[in-house]
Amino acid sequence: MGLVCLLGAALWAGLLVIGLWWVRRGRPVAFGLRGMLILQTLVALSLGLFGWWRVTYLAQTRWLDPASPEAVALFPESQVELNADGEWGCAYASRCVSISALDSKLEAKGIEIQGGYSFHWDGPTNRVEFSGGNRESVEAYLAALKAADIVQPGKIVIRGQVVDHQGNPVANAIVDLQGPYVYINHFKTRDDGTFVMPITPHKGWGYHLRIRPPGGEPMNTDRFSLRYDEPERVVIVRIR
């Protein structure tokens, strides 16, 4: 990135020096065919360098309508199934609310799985696995999770998927929000590359996501705005 900036600055500095030298020679500032060709070449080189920098150093984003089939397909519905231990189990990945907040909501309402049960919570990926011997009770708990997993007033959720340049999901990448309000080391992609970022930010422009893939270089996205009248944002982030 620094090299690109230096090259761009050098091009325009060279153009400025040529212009000043021309003026000091007492000649009127006018561009002939050769001057126009030089200027066009400098502009083309600058734009080419900028485009190369965007492709090389910026993560590419594609924002989706949250209600679109593609956005919905990123987070398929969870189902209760019989596992190898002979218990009814389910893995639930939240869409709008942090998994810890969902746990607190259900606990406050006294909703729990009847009989013997087990839980495994994963806060950074906002995912929980649970099982029990009573199928109806496990299904009721899953239904309660889904009912509570909605965006609350004054909250915003950014969710989506991180993929590599070939479109393969990137698991265990850290997704940070940076800008007027910052969330760092809070959110991690799941095995399928999806992530959920429930936040309470200041509205406005100037935000970007920083993707830190395991073993790779961090990449930033383009800047975007956050608004409370758009509480759900869905994005596909492609990194190199």
Domain boundary among 99, 121, 148: 148
91 in a structural domain: yes
Same domain, 142 and 157: no
27 in a structural domain: yes
28 in a structural domain: yes
Q: How far, in Å, CA of 165 to CA of 181, rounded? A: 29
Same domain, 125 and 195: no
> Could you tell me if 99 and 123 are in contact, meaning their C-beta atoms sit under 8 angstroms apart?
yes
Check residue 218 and give its pLDDT.
93
Domain, as residue range, for 158: 153-238
Q: How far, in Å, CA of 145 to CA of 139, rounded? A: 10
Check residue 40 and give its pLDDT.
63
Number of domains in the chain: 3
Same domain, 232 and 166: yes
Q: Which residues of the chain have pLDDT under 50?
A: 1-6, 47, 49-55
63 in a structural domain: no
Same domain, 163 and 227: yes
The residues, any chain, with a CB within 8 Å of residue 161's CB and separated by 6 or more, are 74, 169, 189, 192, 193, 194, 195, 236, 237
Could you report the per-residue pLDDT of 44-64, keeping only the tens digit for each? Answer: 555 454 444 444 568 999 999
CATH number, domain of 179, equals 2.60.130.10
Helix, strand, or coil here: 44? Answer: helix
Same domain, 116 and 179: no
Check residue 5 and give its pLDDT.
47
**Of 38, 40, 144, 130, nearest in space to 87 by CA:** 130
Same domain, 21 and 87: no
Same domain, 109 and 139: yes
Same domain, 163 and 232: yes
Check residue 6 and give its pLDDT.
47
Same domain, 194 and 143: no
26 in a structural domain: yes
Same domain, 142 and 129: yes
Domain boundary among 115, 130, 148: 148
Check residue 215 and give its pLDDT.
87
Check residue 1 and give its pLDDT.
45
CATH number, domain of 84, equals 3.30.1370
211 in a structural domain: yes
67 in a structural domain: no
**Of 60, 65, 52, nearest in space to 222 by CA:** 60
The residue behind tokens 């004054």 is 154
Q: How far, in Å, CA of 46 to CA of 49, rounded? A: 5
Same domain, 232 and 164: yes
Check residue 49 and give its pLDDT.
45
184 in a structural domain: yes
Same domain, 83 and 136: yes
